[in-house]
Amino acid sequence: MEELKSRSSALASQALLDGKQEFVVQEPAEGLLERTQAVFDRGKLIAIHGYRQMAEGLGGGDIAKLSVSRSAVSDYVERLGQQLQWHGALSLDYVCQEGGQVPLFIDANPRLVEPMNAALSGVNLADILVQVSTGEPIAIAKPAARPVRTHMLLMGLLSAAAARKKRLDIVIELMRAIAGRGLYADSREELLPVRTDFKCLGPLIYGLLRHSSTPKIFQTLRCSIP
């Protein structure tokens, strides 16, 4: 309430509270950040997948994820797609409050956003989107049968370097990932699966070399990410 009064006074001092300007006032939403991704075929929900952000990286991105299935979220997304007669991909971020049945949606994008957690859970949203785009007949995809943990090591290394800008932090994060501990326990790599694709070693090694040679570069990087 005090902040609202302060903001109002500041706007009044700038002669902006003249009845002609419009402002949006909202309260902060506290809870767990989760994301849901869906594919529609002319208003019909074909596939949907959700995951929780287990660790935040640079710019608010995800280092680690855990797939989740929430019927309340699916119902809202399905109703939205039907009303809009949506055709294609739709991704939404929301805050899930403890004990709350109503998700607090905070962002929406007309595209798929990092669909690898879905793919590793058995819901290949990218492939389904291609089939919908080409007009192929497609059955409604079943949701993931069990929770799946995934991560992006490169994002973890970037975040570790940006946190304190020390080489030791980078080494510790890498060792934690190799040992499969912490956020990396029972988790699968999304971006650079070096065990199945050795070419992924290229960008990973490059990133490690840049981390080690100029760790202060990530202070600038962190400031430049919105």
| pLDDT reported for residue 216 | 54
Query: What are the residue ranges spanned by the domains of the chain?
Result: 32-149, 152-224
Residue 189: both structure tokens together: 């790599």
Topology of domain 32-149 in CATH is D-amino Acid Aminotransferase; Chain A, domain 1 (3.30.470)
CA angle centred on 34, ends 102 and 61, rounded to 5°: 150
Q: Which residues pair with 8 in a beta bridge?
A: none
pLDDT by residue for the chain (226 residues), tens only, comes to 677 788 888 888 888 787 778 877 777 888 999 999 999 999 999 999 999 999 998 888 999 999 999 999 999 999 999 999 999 999 999 999 877 678 999 999 999 999 999 999 999 999 999 999 999 888 888 877 789 999 998 888 888 877 766 777 778 888 898 899 999 999 999 988 777 777 777 777 776 666 666 555 444 444 444 4
List the Cα angle 171/172/176 in 5-degree steps. Answer: 115
